[in-house]
């Protein structure tokens, strides 16, 4: 970060539509590591089979100047079609999915089930000694649920990272 | 067989033939390369045709620098062909050099056959992985149906927007296999479409600021050179019609003629006193095709503190990267300049304050009066390196020949930039961004291939030249009359200078010990070696060098302890320049913070 331009950091959720080709994820990740940008969350999956396109969602933090840089640098990559700064462009939805495994019995197990119901987590696997919950929501909600599960025999967590989309009729198309 | 099927059959060829056909369609006339196992099919196809000439270098790094020299001096895309593994890894320095300096290069690398990729096969390297951050873009072709299209796309990407190097990794089975050729597509690229036309609102905003400026400065860079000779012509027109002072980065020299009275010389770390103080004191700055590099800005929080900044660049990521600007213009330098000129001439444009501009010029002339590039050349004895470059310039001017200069990296490079005048674009080839020692000789080869009748001189240092000295063999093989003009001070001069100024004069490992005899070395490479030991020899050696119709190494023994001034020390501001001893008191202090910087 250049000296003298230090101002407040902000978090940005950036959606990137890319050609689904070998090495594209390495290009995006290499750009962030090579230039010293933060990655807080990164998700990628194909979204258009016909056009062979994938969508990458990146959550990052930086000063306004750094975030502008990140977007300009991403836009310079040849296989990148579109970029949207969801945090800047208006209201947006941001969701994460999580699988969380809790092992325990008796009162702890009952408490975990009660909390899961309150959080609208679904039981997707159960044994006599364990439960796996599936839960979708904003990152903070997932964080809160994890904190509650910790004393109840938390064994394992798997989170997808952020999946985000702007509200309203406009779409992100190439 | 019907005529149509015959025609269709004619389009089926080997992968190697497809590559060459695509190169031909892209207008390629010359390739710089070095053979090896993985690219044998391509060399076999090259052998059986005459349209494309192959220049055999002695090291793959040199192939890329030669392609860069070719590209920078012609505006065309330079082409490289190397083998897999070490062929590709040796090319990496050249690729990064081309990336930093925005030079269009397409580099074809061989690769082990697709079924062996990932098996640690002989001469296998993860070339696309290694070169991803070293190129503008790269490709691994695993399907022959995509081969021709990939080559066409590579050329489009290399030369479009901000130019840069592209790697195409070609597995051997793809080169041997049969496939259909396809011509370059006539439709726009699916995702890469850089913006070249500037936004007229931004142009008008810029002109309003420039019209109202009392202390304007135009600061230009390599982007003007890359935009073609028309951009340089328009720049000169704009500078003359506005009456503005103009300075240039290292990469932009030649865009504005150095003899123009409005040209202040180069700016930055070793820029002129007048250029740097004009940058520091300006109230409106127009940057065209430069990127606010740290060599140029000095300490950022003291950079042009009172200036409204206008930045025109074809690469949006260059804007607001190091320096926040007031007006951003994304576009090709030539189109931006044409739009600025048109808007400046418009009837309703506000009046320019010519009186304020005249007062600004008075101040600039005062700074110019300092004559910051003066040096003292004694009439006997040791040659000053500055004087050697100045005489080289003056004597080449007298010949009237079209002259192209390349350099290596270090003190000699800065002296070349300071004392050699460039009147036209594309005549100055130097490694600016990466600072690659060993660039100059192979780059000169590429320039000479493109301009067989021109005078091509590599201004070198005795340390840098040894980094690609093997290319003397290439000069001999192709009878390239490149002149290597070595300023020999027996030191890695810029390292020595920093050690003197910043590290207490402890000359750690910067002495060029055990140097070769460059005259004998030239002789062994079938070239002519000349030597100037004292000032009495200098003019004679330069005249002799220029008169010889063949490669020459001129070994010029220069003062060993000369420093390159002016100098903005690391972490200092433009107005904290160090001038040569005698022009100003001792060396300004460098803070620990500054020492961290390179």
Nearest CA-CA partner of A140 in A3, A11, A14, A1:
A11
Say whether residue A22 is in contact with chain B using an 8 A CB cutoff: yes
Asked if the model's pLDDT at residue A1 lies above 60, the reply is no
All residues of chain A having their beta carbon less than 8 Å from the beta carbon of residue B169 are none
All residues of chain B having their beta carbon less than 8 Å from the beta carbon of residue A73 are 317
Q: Evaluate whether A9-90 and A94-165 have a shared fold.
A: yes
Task: Give me the residue spans of the domains in chain A.
Answer: 9-90, 94-165
How do strand B483-488 and strand B455-461 relate by DSSP bridges? parallel
All residues of chain A having their beta carbon less than 8 Å from the beta carbon of residue B326 are none
Q: A7 falls in which pLDDT band (50, 70, 90)?
A: low
Q: A29 falls in which pLDDT band (50, 70, 90)?
A: very high
Identify whether B404 is a catalytic site residue.
Answer: no
- In this complex, the residue of B136, B190, B300 whose CB is nearest that of residue A2 is B300
Task: Report the C-alpha gap between B255 and B238 in whole angstroms.
Answer: 12
Task: Report the C-alpha gap between B435 and B412 in whole angstroms.
Answer: 13
CA triplet B318, B217, B346: central angle to 5 degrees?
A: 90
Burial code of B216-252, b = ≥16 C-beta within 10 A, e = fewer? Answer: bbbbbbbbbbbbbbebbebbbebbeebebbbbbbbbb
Nearest CA-CA partner of B251 in B482, B479, B417, B80:
B417
Would residue B311 be called left, alpha or beta, if left means φ above 0 and alpha means ψ between -120 and 50 degrees?
beta
Superfamily in which the A9-90 domain is placed by CATH: ACT domain (3.30.70.260)
Sign of CA dihedral B212, B217, B218, B221: negative
All residues of chain B having their beta carbon less than 8 Å from the beta carbon of residue A34 are 133
pLDDT at B351: 85
Q: Do B300 and A27 touch (CB under 8 A)?
A: no
Identify whether B214 is a catalytic site residue.
Answer: no
Asked if the model's pLDDT at residue A160 lies above 50, the reply is yes
pLDDT at B587: 45
Asked if the model's pLDDT at residue A30 lies above 80, the reply is yes
pLDDT at A4: 38
The answer to whether B436 touches B97, Cβ cutoff 8 Å, is: yes
Q: Do B301 and A3 touch (CB under 8 A)?
A: yes
* DSSP of B118-178: TS--TT---HHHHHGGGSSEEEE---GGGHHHHHHHHHHHHHSSS--EEEEEEEHHHHHSE
Residue of B25, B123, B142, B230 marked catalytic: B123
Identify whether B155 is a catalytic site residue.
Answer: no
Which one of A28, A33, A76 would you mutate to disrupt binding with B, by most B Cβ within 10 Å of its Cβ? A76
pLDDT tens digits, residue range A114-154? 999 999 999 999 999 999 999 999 999 999 999 999 999 99
Mean pLDDT confidence for A5-32:
90
Say whether residue A26 is in contact with chain B using an 8 A CB cutoff: yes
Q: Give the number of other Cβ atoms within 10 Å of residue A33's Cβ.
A: 10
- Quote the tokens at residue B42: 């391509």
pLDDT tens digits, residue range B561-585? 999 999 999 889 999 999 998 776 4
Instruction: Give the DSSP letter of residue B340.
Output: H
Given a cut of 70, the residues of chain B with pLDDT beneath it are 1-10, 584-590
The rounded mean pLDDT for chain B is 95
The rounded mean pLDDT for chain A is 93
- CA B534 to the chain's CA centroid: 32
Residue of B76, B172, B308, B390 marked catalytic: B172
- At A146 the three-state DSSP class reads helix
Q: Do A75 and B316 touch (CB under 8 A)?
A: yes
Determine what percent of chain B is predicted with pLDDT higher than 70: 97
pLDDT at B113: 98
- In this complex, the residue of B128, B129, B133 whose CB is nearest that of residue A34 is B133
Architecture of the domain whose range is A94-165: 2-Layer Sandwich (3.30)
Residue of B26, B32, B60, B497 marked catalytic: B60
pLDDT at A174: 56
Task: Report the C-alpha gap between B434 and B96 in whole angstroms.
Answer: 7
According to DSSP H, which parts of B369-431 are helical? 385-399, 411-419
């Amino acid at each position: 970060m250049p000296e003298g331009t230090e101002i407040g950091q902000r978090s940005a959720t950036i959606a990137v539509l890319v050609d689904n080709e070998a090495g594209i994820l390495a290009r995006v990740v290499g750009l962030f590591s090579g230039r010293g940008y933060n990655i807080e969350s990164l998700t990628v999956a194909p979204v258009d089979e016909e056009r062979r396109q994938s969508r990458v969602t990146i959550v990052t933090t930086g000063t306004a100047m750094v975030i502008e840089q990140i977007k300009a640098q991403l836009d310079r990559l040849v296989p990148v079609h579109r970029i949207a700064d969801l945090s800047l462009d208006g209201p947006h939805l941001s969701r994460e999915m999580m699988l969380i495994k809790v092992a325990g019995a008796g009162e702890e197990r009952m408490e975990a089930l009660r909390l899961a119901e309150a959080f609208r987590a679904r039981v997707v696997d159960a044994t006599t000694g364990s439960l796996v919950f599936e839960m979708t929501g904003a990152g903070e909600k997932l964080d809160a649920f994890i904190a509650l599960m910790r004393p109840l025999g938390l064994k394992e967590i798997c989170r997808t990272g952020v999946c985000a989309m702007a509200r309203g009729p406009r779409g992100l198309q190439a | 067989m019907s005529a149509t099927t015959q025609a269709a059959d004619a389009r089926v060829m080997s992968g190697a033939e497809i590559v060459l056909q695509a190169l031909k369609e892209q207008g390629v006339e010359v390739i710089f390369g070095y053979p090896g196992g993985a690219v044998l099919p391509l060399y076999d196809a090259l052998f059986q045709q005459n349209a494309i000439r192959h220049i055999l270098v002695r090291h793959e790094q040199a192939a890329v620098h030669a392609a860069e020299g070719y590209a920078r001096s012609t505006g065309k895309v330079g082409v490289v062909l190397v083998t897999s593994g070490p062929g590709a890894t040796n090319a990496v320095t050249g690729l990064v050099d081309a990336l930093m300096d925005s030079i269009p290069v397409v580099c074809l690398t061989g690769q082990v056959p697709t079924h062996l990729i990932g098996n640690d096969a002989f001469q296998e390297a993860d070339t696309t992985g290694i070169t991803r951050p070293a190129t503008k873009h790269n490709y691994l072709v695993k399907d022959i149906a995509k081969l021709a299209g990939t080559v066409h796309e590579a050329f489009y990407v290399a030369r479009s927007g901000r130019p840069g190097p592209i790697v195409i990794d070609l597995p051997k089975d793809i080169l041997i296999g049969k496939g259909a050729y396809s011509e370059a597509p006539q439709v726009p690229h699916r995702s890469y479409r850089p913006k070249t036309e500037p936004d007229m609102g931004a142009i008008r905003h810029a002109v309003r600021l420039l019209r109202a400026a009392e202390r304007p400065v135009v600061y230009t860079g390599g982007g003007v050179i890359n935009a073609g000779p028309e951009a340089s012509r328009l720049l000169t027109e704009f500078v003359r019609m506005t009456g503005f002072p103009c300075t240039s980065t290292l990469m932009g020299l030649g865009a504005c003629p150095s003899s123009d009275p409005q040209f202040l010389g180069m700016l930055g770390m070793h820029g002129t006193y007048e250029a740097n103080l004009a940058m520091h004191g300006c109230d409106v700055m127009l940057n065209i095709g430069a990127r606010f590099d740290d060599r140029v800005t000095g300490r950022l929080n003291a950079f042009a503190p009172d200036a409204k900044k206008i930045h025109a660049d074809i690469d949006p990521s260059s804007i607001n990267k190091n320096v926040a600007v007031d007006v951003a213009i994304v576009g090709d330098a030539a189109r931006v300049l044409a739009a600025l000129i048109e808007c400046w001439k418009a009837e309703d444009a506000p009046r320019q304050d010519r009186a304020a501009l005249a007062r600004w010029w008075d101040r600039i002339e005062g700074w110019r009066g300092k004559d910051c590039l003066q040096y003292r050349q004694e009439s006997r004895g040791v040659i000053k390196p500055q004087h050697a470059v100045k005489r080289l310039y003056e004597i080449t001017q007298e010949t009237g020949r079209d002259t192209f200069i390349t350099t290596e990296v270090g003190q000699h490079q800065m002296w070349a930039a300071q004392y050699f005048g460039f009147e036209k674009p594309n005549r100055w080839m130097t490694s600016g961004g990466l600072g690659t020692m060993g660039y100059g000789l192979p780059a000169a080869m590429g320039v000479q291939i493109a301009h067989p009748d021109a005078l091509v001189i590599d201004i070198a240092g005795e340390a840098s030249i040894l980094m690609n000295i093997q290319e003397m063999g290439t000069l001999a093989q192709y009878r390239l009359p490149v002149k290597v003009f070595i300023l020999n001070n027996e030191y890695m001069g810029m390292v020595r200078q920093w050690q003197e100024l910043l590290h207490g004069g402890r000359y750690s490992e910067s002495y060029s010990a055990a140097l070769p005899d460059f005259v004998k070395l030239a002789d062994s490479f079938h070239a002519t070696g000349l030597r100037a030991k004292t000032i009495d020899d200098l003019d004679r050696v330069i005249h002799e060098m220029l008169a010889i119709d063949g490669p020459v190494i001129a070994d010029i023994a220069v003062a060993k302890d000369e420093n390159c001034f002016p100098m903005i020390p690391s972490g200092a501001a433009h107005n904290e320049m160090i001038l040569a001893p005698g022009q100003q008191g001792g060396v300004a202090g460098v803070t620990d913070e500054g020492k961290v910087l390179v």
